[in-house]
Amino acid sequence: MINLHWLYVLAGIVFAGFAIGSARDATNKKRFGNTAFWGLIAFSFWFGDFLGDIANGVLVLVLVAIAGAHLLGKGSKHSTSVERRKGYSERYGNKLFLPALVIPFTAFAGTLAFNYTPLKNSGLIDPKSVTLVLLGLGVISALVICYAWLKPAVTAPIEEGRRLMDSIGWAAVLPQMLAALGAVFAAAGVGTTIGALAGSIIPEGSIFLAVLLYALGMVVFTMIMGNAFAAFPVMVAAIGVPILIHQDGGNPAVIGAVGMLAGFCGTLMTPMAANFNIVPAALLELKNQYGVIKAQVPTAIPLLIANILILYFGAFR
């Protein structure tokens, strides 16, 4: 049966390719730091289940040490020449984006086919992981199409992927680490503590105040931790489930979905979401590293107000 384990193997192969490509990139003065960083991530995908909590924690600390010591760099090696890139652009135009569309299409159409055909009972794919497995299949399909259509060098996908990851650096793995941090906070009982405080503040039956604290809590925790996925388990355990759903009888689907959207408003306004807000500023070479955030705040605040109103009227009316 195909499950998440196979995706981890595939991801490990990709990161191992990045590590090998980094070691061979003589234009990068910090290539061995990159090699160690991507190599350790590949190792975690392959053997993380066997390492145990302590060893995985040490591995993460080593990754942090490599990034914190500024041992990651970027080379100037390209898999194709500028002239060839321009040739692709002039010849194919926006059609070059078609392989990228294969990925979500495969995940969406494949999931529908899995759920409404005998494939669901075939035992081929783990039903709990079907969308992610098909997402991985979409990536492989898009890669095959690119090879057949554009005929790049064999190592071009790995080299270009590595070049992009080197440009992003450590921030590429920040979402996963922050999501794990949210799970740690939830397991440590942070949500329960906040819930007790919220219960003592919110008068019984004051639904709007509970909604307001829930939404603002999502925003604040997201701004602190840099990711709404990290804030979600904390605020749902604190206010979402015990107060809005159990006590006030709110719609769980609306509270969960719109609560996440409220958290994303915080993502737009925090430098902690480095992969969204700081890295683009660096890649675009903006004079102000917070330029992206400043441009997003006028959108984030009205969007937050809209989400609060949707939570109040949509979940309790």
* Whether residue 39 is found in the same domain as residue 139: yes
Residue 187 clears pLDDT 80, i.e. is over it: no
41 falls within a domain: yes
* Whether residue 144 is found in the same domain as residue 264: no
Most confidently predicted of 61-70, 73-82, 270-279: 61-70
* Whether residue 214 is found in the same domain as residue 162: no
Count structural domains, the chain.
Answer: 2
Average pLDDT score over residue span 249-254: 91
* Whether residue 141 is found in the same domain as residue 227: no
Instruction: Specify the higher pLDDT residue, 190 or 132.
Output: 132
Range of the domain at 57: 4-168
Q: Looking at residue 219, what is its pLDDT?
A: 94
Q: Which of 77-91, 235-249, 293-307 has the lowest mean pLDDT?
A: 77-91
102 falls within a domain: yes
* Whether residue 39 is found in the same domain as residue 155: yes
* Whether residue 115 is found in the same domain as residue 244: no
Cα separation, 309 vs 139, whole angstroms: 38
Record the pTM: 0.73
Cα separation, 230 vs 219, whole angstroms: 11
182 falls within a domain: no
* Whether residue 154 is found in the same domain as residue 198: no
* Whether residue 155 is found in the same domain as residue 198: no
261 falls within a domain: yes
183 falls within a domain: no
Distance of CA 121 to the CA centre of its chain: 31
What is the CB neighbour count within 10 angstroms for residue 297?
Answer: 12
* Whether residue 202 is found in the same domain as residue 164: no
* Whether residue 149 is found in the same domain as residue 201: no
| Among 39, 21, 35, residue whose Cα is nearest residue 77 | 21
Cα separation, 33 vs 16, whole angstroms: 14
* Identity at 55, one-letter amino acid code: A
Most confidently predicted of 112-116, 117-121, 176-180: 112-116
Residue 37 clears pLDDT 90, i.e. is over it: yes
